Amino acid sequence: MKNLLICISMLLLIAGLNSSLTAQPQYYNSSTTGSGNSFPFNVAAGKDVQLIFLPGEFSQPTPAPAGNIVSISFIVNSTIGPATYTTFTIQMGQSTSTFFNGTSFYTGSLTSVYNHASVTLSGATGTWMTITLDTPFPYDPTQSLIMDIGQCGATGTIGSGSMSYTFTTTNTRNWSAGGCPFAYYGANSEIYNMGISLTTSGSPVCVTIAATSITATTASLNGTVNANGSSTTVTFDYGLTTAYGTTVAGVPATVTGNSVTSVTAAITNLTPNTLYHFRINGTNVGGISNGMDLTFTSGIPVNITVGGTVTGTACYNATNTITVAGNPPTFTVQSGDSVEMIAGVTILYMPGTTVQSGGYMWGYIAPAGPYCLAPSMPSMDSTENELPRSIELSPFKIYPNPTTGNFILELKSEVPTDKIIVAVYGMWEEKVLSEVLIGERKHEFSLSDRPAGVYFIHVISGNMSETSKIIKH
């Protein structure tokens, strides 16, 4: 009999692991069945949805406090499953935004909290269908909560299964056009009737907040920490990648209690006009928590002096004056390399400035910027003082054009391939990608992660410099 009971218990445990739970969550926005929507659960080919829940929205039966979300729950409008889903994923993030833009998926920082190659879910009409997360998510009730829920294929009973929702007044839901890979289709004002359960003890809850007081060489990093009742040591990581590399103490360096505490850190000696990653961290007896990764770009210097030799492509900028070949007293642009100089007031080219044959240097004054973005390249009228170039025949071809994502750049036989510098710019003069090709006559590029529009491709090879247009649908 004892063995039989153990066997039955194990079977019940296995069944619980392969199906959803039905208990009411700790905090929810609504428990009514209302209207129903089948996305993403009732689509055999796969579907992705993004939902945004406003600060304090999980207010029933009492407002949700800061804590670590361990599960999410949906009110089932029409029976779901049992259905088996492939590549079922849930991602979460937080933001100060209160609605989606209505033109594309949310692209802010999201953390993977659930990722199963295969999972079976089910839920009866009017009950809660709960999914326990693989990784708890630190929740700050003062910010909006973003959920991204997707699946790449479904089998089983998926006929009329749907989730309950309520209408809002702004875009609170995005969805995909089809299955994996997901492509944005549209947005509307539906918000699902959902709940969360969380823990408010143990490891701290850390939330990274946008950097402020940014200059060319300094910035203030910001975040919040809920110590969850245990003395918590707070630090910030920052660096040029998500590997960070530098850690500084927060102010305050120690947080206690069970409320959300603001923390900051002033950092110095930054490289001007450079993208930095950062996050907040908390450590106590319950464990270590890391806030989500955020980025900022350091500011533009007032005055700079440049020297040495340019390799590849480079851009120098200052809101006042750039002094070229001042220290060291030489500045050289080699054949096949290119440089831009953008100053708010003055560019001083000292006697040691040299541009070798086939090199490219362009300097201009832009009092209001933009800085180290790439305005359209200056046109070149044919005169006896300029390097010869073909106006009738481009030295390269681009195809397909228009493109839906990838395109190929193919150089003609007369173009040397020792070193090719390629840069692609958007309509707003921003550089979207660049690459140096060595010995290649044909190379594939991708604009798949860029919005539809017109782009300009600038190619430099030896004494050849040419710009062409491509359209992405």
Q: Which has more pLDDT, 449 or 452?
A: 449
Name the token pair of 125.
């009409």
Name the token pair of 14.
């296995």
- 291 pLDDT above the threshold of 60: yes
The pLDDT of 141-161, averaged and rounded, is 89
Q: What confidence category does residue 450 fall into, taking pLDDT thresholds of 50, 70 and 90?
A: confident
Residue-wise burial string across 101-123, b where 16 or more C-beta atoms lie within 10 A, e elsewhere: eeeebbeebbbebbeeeebbbbb
| Host H or E run for residue 17 | helix 2-17
- 20 pLDDT above the threshold of 70: no
Please report the pLDDT score of residue 241 as a whole number.
92
3 three-class SS: helix
- 14 pLDDT above the threshold of 50: no
Q: What confidence category does residue 322 fall into, taking pLDDT thresholds of 50, 70 and 90?
A: very high
Name the token pair of 276.
């930095």
Q: Among 99-103, 254-258, 326-330, 408-412, name the most confident range.
A: 99-103
Please report the pLDDT score of residue 19 as a whole number.
40
- 1 pLDDT above the threshold of 80: no
Please report the pLDDT score of residue 455 as a whole number.
81
Say whether the peptide bond before residue 141 is cis (omega within 30 degrees of 0): no
Please report the pLDDT score of residue 339 as a whole number.
87
Q: What confidence category does residue 161 fall into, taking pLDDT thresholds of 50, 70 and 90?
A: low
CA-to-CA distance for 19 and 51, rounded, in angstroms? 23
DSSP for 332-353, please give it: EE-TT-EEEEEESSEEEE-TTE
Helices (H) and strands (E) in the chain, counts: 1, 38
163-182: per-residue pLDDT in tens? 889 999 999 999 999 889 99
- 350 pLDDT above the threshold of 50: yes
The pLDDT of 319-338, averaged and rounded, is 88
441 three-class SS: coil
Instruction: State the average pLDDT for the chain.
Output: 84
Q: Which has more pLDDT, 80 or 452?
A: 80
CA-to-CA distance for 79 and 162, rounded, in angstroms? 7
Closest by Cα among 430, 411, 407, 406 to 421? 411
Please report the pLDDT score of residue 34 as a whole number.
77
Contact 470, 432 (CB under 8 A): no
DSSP for 131-197, please give it: EEEEEEEEE-TTSEEEEEEEESEEEES-SS-EEEEEE-SS--EEEESSSSSP-EEEEESEEE-EEEE
Phi-psi region of 269 (alpha: psi -120 to 50; beta: other; left: phi over 0): left
75-100: per-residue pLDDT in tens? 998 888 899 999 999 999 999 999 99
Q: What confidence category does residue 420 fall into, taking pLDDT thresholds of 50, 70 and 90?
A: confident
Please report the pLDDT score of residue 13 as a whole number.
37
Please report the pLDDT score of residue 473 as a whole number.
82
The pLDDT of 6-29, averaged and rounded, is 55
Please report the pLDDT score of residue 373 as a whole number.
53
Closest by Cα among 416, 380, 371, 372 to 396? 416
The whole-model pTM stands at 0.50
Contact 223, 206 (CB under 8 A): yes
Please report the pLDDT score of residue 240 as a whole number.
92
Name the token pair of 217.
């060489």
CA-to-CA distance for 404 and 84, rounded, in angstroms? 33
DSSP helix, strand, coil percent of the chain (3-state; round to 5): 5, 55, 45
Please report the pLDDT score of residue 379 as a whole number.
31
Please report the pLDDT score of residue 262 as a whole number.
95
Range with the lowest mean pLDDT among 97-111, 260-274, 383-397? 383-397
Contact 327, 308 (CB under 8 A): no
The length of the chain is 473
- 125 pLDDT above the threshold of 70: yes
User: Which letter does DSSP use for residue 60 in this model?
Assistant: B
